[in-house]
Structure 1
Amino acid sequence: MTSLDFAGLIFFLLVFFGYQRIAKMVGRGKNVNALMHQTRRIWMQRLMERPDRIVDAALTGHTVNSMSFFCSATILVVAGLLGVLGKAGDAQQVLGAWTFVTHSSATIFQLKLIGLIAIFVYGFFRFTWALRQYNYCCALIGAAPLARNDYPHRLELADQMAIVYTSALTAFGGGIRCYYFGLAWIAWLIDPVAFIAAILGILIVLLRRQVYSHSHQAIRRFVELNPPEDLAPQEPMRDERN
């Protein structure tokens, strides 16, 4: 491995594990994830007022199906990469036939494949942790008290439900990002310069969606026009790496 390979690897690790902090700094605390947490607070506050919560149950169930799909798909990706690792010599010969691919030793090529597998294994754990937390959220929704305006802790309960909901979707988003950064890692099989360029390109795309997209503007305006009821907003707890 050259010094450029090491620089690309360090850059990848910093961006991959520090993305949430980067997005928070760039968006000044008003990125899509932060705004969606406020939106979920509004949702849970409305849920506490509704006597019939069929719509809320349907929306929750739809997201559970999406998480289950990605859990299964990630396992298939890991299985396919393990198959490629077993035929690493053949795969290296195929890539080596391309003129724009930087040649490397068989050991380095195998280590890069193992790193790619590790990314998707990490994504699988993120998806399964998101699914578990979503089940917790379903239990909280089902145990929510009946709609009564005189219930003293209505807003606080809604905030706690929103925190669990946001924590689940934060883990889900972490799993989705494994697919994005997995593509950048594949570029490392070609060339370390392509690896660094791919990391930077994916980071720009993700940050643009978080801070400068039309969806961000619409969600931000929605929260401004329809703010949560007065209660000290609570930040979601630091996501556990399970």
Structure 2
Amino acid sequence: MTSDLTPLDWLSLAVFLLIFFGYGSIARLLTGGNNLNSVLHQVRRSWMQRMMERPDRIVDSALTGHTVASISFFSSATILVIAGLLGLLGKTTDAYRVISSWFFVAASSTDVFQLKLVGLIAVFVYGFFRFTWALRQYNYCCALIGAAPLAKDEHPHRLEMADQVAIVYSSALASFGAGIRCYYFALAWLAWFSSAIAFLAAIILFLLVLLRRQTISHSVRAIRRYVELNPPSNC
């Protein structure tokens, strides 16, 4: 099966795996650690510090619940995508006959087509695990918010506790973001059904799109300025 892959196929697959699993390191390297995730962690620190000062946590619970609903939606959607692809895997011959008739799809064997389909399923399975891990960490955050000392309590470690909650929040959202990126990279993987060149071009395109949103987008500049105007307190 793998002998049917060309050297360009192997190169494209290697680049995909490098970027797919190393995206976080690539983003930190290119931005010097000053990307959107690191800036938003400072925002979450400020948020948790304000949460510790509030007499009630209704706003914080509502914001947390909204994100939990979003993660649950993507988890459910990913399961449906995986189920659909598994069904397609059972009809590989019919699917290959249809897709290979498209003019922009390069000729290949049924075994290679099946291998590509299995790889696409693996991408979504990885995304499902990231979504469910994010959901579990959000449940941890709910417990931490519920156990936080009240505003009237004179707790000596209030700021440090706020930082710990922010760390769990950032970890949860990093996992959520990794799950979202699986959809981007799955689109790049789809280009492989056309040709290895299209696959490689799609990988680079989606990498540039994601890096731009992490580094130089209007939202990032606004968030950085926000943190400058409203920095979190230090323990």
Give the TM-score taking structure 1 as reference length.
0.94
User: Residue 130 in 1 paired to residue 137 in 2?
Assistant: no
Alignment of structure 1 residues 17-32 onto 2, 5 Å = 17-32=21-36
Alpha-carbon deviation of 1:152?
1.0
Q: CA–CA distance in 1 between the matches of 2:55 and 2:46?
A: 16
Whichever residue aligns with residue 119 of structure 1, its letter is V
User: Residue 115 in 1 paired to residue 119 in 2?
Assistant: yes
Alignment of structure 1 residues 139-178 onto 2, 5 Å = 139-148=143-152, 150-178=154-182
Q: CA–CA distance in 2 between the matches of 1:191 and 1:20?
A: 27
Alignment of structure 1 residues 4-153 onto 2, 5 Å = 4-148=8-152, 150-153=154-157
Residue 237 (structure 1) aligns with: none
Counterpart secondary structure, 2:156: coil
Alpha-carbon deviation of 1:149?
7.1
Q: CA–CA distance in 2 between the matches of 1:58 and 1:7?
A: 46
User: Residue 197 in 1 paired to residue 184 in 2?
Assistant: no
Deviations 1:191-242 (A, max 9, x none): 00000000000000000000010000000000011101023xxxxxxxxxxx
Deviations 1:178-200 (A, max 9, x none): 10000000100110000000000
Whichever residue aligns with residue 99 of structure 1, its letter is F
Q: More displaced, 131-140 or 93-102?
A: 93-102
The correspondence for 1:179, drawn from 177, 183, 189, is: 183
User: Residue 218 in 1 paired to residue 222 in 2?
Assistant: yes
Alpha-carbon deviation of 1:150?
3.6
Whichever residue aligns with residue 122 of structure 2, its letter is A
Contact 1:49 1:149 in 2 (8 A): no
- After superposing on structure 2, the runs of 4+ consecutive aligned residues of structure 1 that deviate more than 3 Å are none
Q: CA–CA distance in 1 between the matches of 2:211 and 2:149?
A: 39
Deviations 1:52-97 (A, max 9, x none): 2111110000001001101100000000001111111111111211
Flag structure 1 segments of 5+ consecutive residues without an equivalent.
Answer: 232-242
Q: CA–CA distance in 2 between the matches of 1:228 and 1:100?
A: 53
Whichever residue aligns with residue 157 of structure 2, its letter is H
Alpha-carbon deviation of 1:99?
2.4
Deviations 1:21-57 (A, max 9, x none): 1111122111111100010000000000111211111
Q: CA–CA distance in 2 between the matches of 1:209 and 1:123?
A: 20
Alpha-carbon deviation of 1:174?
0.7
Whichever residue aligns with residue 84 of structure 2, its letter is G
Give the TM-score taking structure 2 as reference length.
0.96
Residue 238 (structure 1) aligns with: none
Contact 1:127 1:175 in 2 (8 A): yes
Counterpart secondary structure, 2:232: coil
Contact 1:31 1:210 in 2 (8 A): yes
Whichever residue aligns with residue 45 of structure 1, its letter is Q
| Percent identity for Structure 1 against Structure 2 | 68
Contact 1:48 1:145 in 2 (8 A): yes
